[in-house]
Amino acid sequence: MKLKNHGLSNLLIKRPIIAITLIVLILQCGFIFGQSADDILSKVDLNLSSNNRVFESTMNIIGRRGSRFIKSKTYAEGYKKSFTEYLYPPGDKGTKMLKLEDHLWIYSPSTDRTIQISGHLLRQSLMGSDLSYEEMMEDRKLTEMYKVNIEKKEEIFGRRCYVLYLEAKVEDVAYFTQRMWVDVERFVPLKQELYSKSGKLLKWMKSEKIQKTGERWFPMKVIYKDVMKEGDGTEFEITDIKFNQYITPSIFSKASLKK
C-alpha cells in the first residue's frame, strides 16, 4: 500500500533518470495543456474579436440549383452593434441591416421601408445560407462564453494545431460545446465543430486564407456547414478588413438605414 501511494518518490530513489524525465514531461504537459488553455483562447479572441472593424465580404451559398454570390460591407462595434449594406446582386443591392443588442432592422430600398426582426425570426436562415441572422450577428468573445481545455495537439491542413474543447459557462449560448483546432503559431481556429448539449455534432466551420492584417492573423474565408442540411454549405469570404477604425456613431442608428 505504502509503495503504491508513494510510487513517484519510490521511483525517484530507484530510477532517478526515468523519474526526472517523467517529472519534466509532466511539467511540460502542464505548461502546454493547463496553463495556456485559457491563454490560447484569449489569443484567439485577440485575433478574431476587436472593438470595431469594417470589412467587405462575399457569401457563396451552394445550393441544389447552382450557387449564389452575395457581396456586402459591414461596420461593427463590439458584438452588440453592426451595420451591413448589401452591394451585390442587383436585387439585394442597397438592402441594409442594422443590429443593436437583440434587435435587427432591415431596410429595403425598393419599398423604402424599414422592418424590424426580433425573437424567433432571428433564428431563421439568413438568405438561404447555413447561417441564421443570430449567428451572423454573434461576435461575443469566446473567453466570455466558454471554459476551455486542451485535448491534444494535432496536425490538420498541414499546420500544427491545439485541439481545444470548449464548454459553455454561460447559459445563453447557441452551442453548448465546441471542438476547435487552433493553429499553434498563429492562434487562429482552422476548424471548428459545434455540438449540441447532448454532444451531437450540428455544424462545422473550416477556415482558409489565413492572412496577417496588422498585428493579427485573421481567417479571410470560412466555410459553414450544417451537417444535416443538403448542399455543400456556405462560403463566407472577407475581401477587405480594417480593424479599429473610426466609425461615426450615427451609422449605428435607424436613420442611417435610409441614407
Partner 1 sequence: MIRFLIKGLLKDRSRSLIPLIVTSFGVMITVVLHSWLTGIMSESLELNANITTGHMKVMTKAYSEVMDLSPLNLSIIGADSLVKGLKKSYAGTDWVKRIRFGGLVDVPDEKGETKAQGPVVGWSLDLLTKGTKEIERFNLKKSLISGSLPKKTDEGLLTDVFAKRYNIGIGDTFLLFSNTFEGSMSFTNFTVAGTIRFGSEAIDRGALIIDIKAAEKSFNMEDSAPEILGFLEHQYDDEKVNLISEDFNSLYRNNDDEFRPYMIRMRDQNDMGSIIDYSQAIGTLMVAIFVGAMSVVLWNAGLLGGLRRYSEFGIRLAMGEEKIAIYKSLIYEAILIGLIGSITGTISGLGISYYLQEKGIDISNLMPNSSILMPQIARANITIAALYIGFIPGLVSTVLGAVISGIGIFKRKTSMLFKELEV
Partner 2 sequence: MIALKLAIRNLTGAKLRTFLNAAVLSFAFVVLVFYMGLLDGWNRQSKLDMEAWEIGEGQLWSKSYDPFDPYSLQDAHSIILTSYNSEIDRGNITPILLVQGSIYRQGTLINIIISGIEPKQRLLKIPSRVLKSESKEVPAIIGSRFAKVNGIKKGDYVQIRWRDKNGTFDALDVEICNIFKTNVSTVDNNRIWIPIKRLQEMSGLLKEATILVTSNPNIDMPPTDWIFRDKKYLEKEIDNIIFAKKRGSIVVTILLLSIGLLAIFDTQVLSIFRRQKEIGTYIALGMTRMEVVKLFTLEGSIHSIFALILATIYGLPLLAIIASTGIPMPSAVDEMGVSIGEKIFPYYEIGVLIVSVLIMVLAATTVSYFPSRRIGRLNPIDALKGKIK
Long-range contacts at 249-255 (CB < 8 A, ≥ 24 apart): 251/75, 251/83, 252/75, 252/77, 252/81, 252/82, 252/83, 252/98, 252/100, 253/98, 254/98, 254/105, 254/114
Contact flag: residue 2 with partner 1 (CB under 8 A): no
Q: Return the number of the residue (63 or 214) whose C-beta is nearest partner 1.
A: 63
Window 107 to 166, contacts with partner 2 (CB under 8 A): 119-120, 123
Q: Which does 128 bind (CB under 5 to 8 A by kind): partner 1, partner 2, none?
A: partner 1
Q: How far is CA 137 from the centre of its chain?
A: 11
Please report how close the Cβ of residue 224 comes to partner 1 at its closest, in angstroms.
Answer: 15
Q: Return the number of the residue (85 or 193) whose C-beta is nearest partner 1.
A: 85
Tally of CA atoms within 13 A in the half-sphere of 109 that contains its CB: 12
Q: Which does 161 bind (CB under 5 to 8 A by kind): partner 2, partner 1, none?
A: none
Contact flag: residue 103 with partner 2 (CB under 8 A): no
Q: Residue-wise over 42-62: b if at least 16 C-beta within 10 A, else e?
A: bbbbebbbbebbbbbbbbbbb
Contact flag: residue 116 with partner 1 (CB under 8 A): yes
Please count the residues of this chain forming the interface with partner 1, following the rule CB under 8 A.
26
Q: Which does 106 bind (CB under 5 to 8 A by kind): partner 2, partner 1, none?
A: partner 1
x/- string (CB under 8 A) for partner 2, residues 214-253? --------------xxxx----------------------
Cell numbers linked to 126: 439568413
Please count the residues of this chain forming the interface with partner 2, following the rule CB under 8 A.
20
Residue choice 113, 152, 197, 254 for contact with partner 2 (CB under 8 A): 197
Please report how close the Cβ of residue 108 comes to partner 1 at its closest, in angstroms.
Answer: 4
Long-range contacts at 49-54 (CB < 8 A, ≥ 24 apart): 49/79, 49/139, 49/141, 50/243, 50/244, 51/77, 51/78, 51/244, 52/76, 52/77, 52/78, 52/243, 52/244, 52/245, 52/247, 53/241, 53/242, 53/243, 53/244, 53/245, 54/241, 54/242, 54/245, 54/247
The candidate with the shortest Cα–Cα distance to 81, out of 113, 57, 35, 50, is 50
x/- string (CB under 8 A) for partner 1, residues 37-76? ------------------------x-xxx--x-x------
What residues make contact with partner 2 under the rule CB under 8 A?
119-120, 123, 168, 171-176, 194, 196-198, 200, 202, 228-231
What residues make contact with partner 1 under the rule CB under 8 A?
61, 63-65, 68, 70, 89, 91-92, 95, 105-106, 108, 110-116, 121, 125, 127-129, 254
